[in-house]
Structure 1
């Protein structure tokens, strides 16, 4: 697997992991979602909103925008799991669309990341890897926080590695995907 295909798979896996984690969080009462917890951010709501806000920041840059630091003017734009799940799913669909349109030249192109006082130029492939790592890092923190609640944390690290398509079929249907959507013809 080479070229843009690994990035396409990562974008889908990213959306799938967000879907799983936010679906689990939907079983929490609002008080548990906003309760203080041990982590870099003090609550599940703050941690999951941080993922959303930073996704918006980097995705805007990947799409050629100039949003920059205005992206985090409101660090918790979504007060409920339901609002966050909808907003994150929309951003995940945008990321999948950006990656779906990439070829080798698109992966190597420079992206302008507006950082307020300066504009950082970064290759698309490197920016994507950074974004995926950021997601994994903070989803892991949220996963650990969720383990301190009455809701069991979902499996997040399968990366479509098993042949248990039946277990994924419902989630893939929820997301509008098939195995072909994720992996293409190969």
Structure 2
């Protein structure tokens, strides 16, 4: 947790490839959060559409990742994130208005968990393109950086410390 803050800062990482329309909806919902994240990091995974432009229009940090796939893109986003807690969403996720707040609340219980699973504050999209696309998992890494994974892909839960995007995370407790 940041020494100057009583509550941790949150970076939201969104890996995306050719998802400009879905990303636009997701970023609109992130912009309307009751607790604003420190930053939104969109990882452009070699998109051929306007994904990066949409992200920049919403004020997101854009990180290019030429290696295709969610694991590589998510790891690049984790390495670029600056927040105490890293929350990950898919581009087609639909976070409710208090999603970031629920992430912070989940990560500040006493004792603070190493990992959290669940989907607090995520809403199912109106059209679901693939299983888990609306996000099903939350996970946290070792202090001082923590990861909250709102994406639905179990194979990309990585240790969110700079330069160590390929480590495994331990799952500890379910989120309400």
TM (norm. structure 1) is 0.30
What TM-score does the superposition give when structure 2 sets the normalisation length? 0.31
- Larger radius of gyration between Structure 1 and Structure 2: 1
Specify which structure has the bigger relative contact order, considering alpha-carbon pairs within 8 angstroms and separated by 6 or more residues.
1
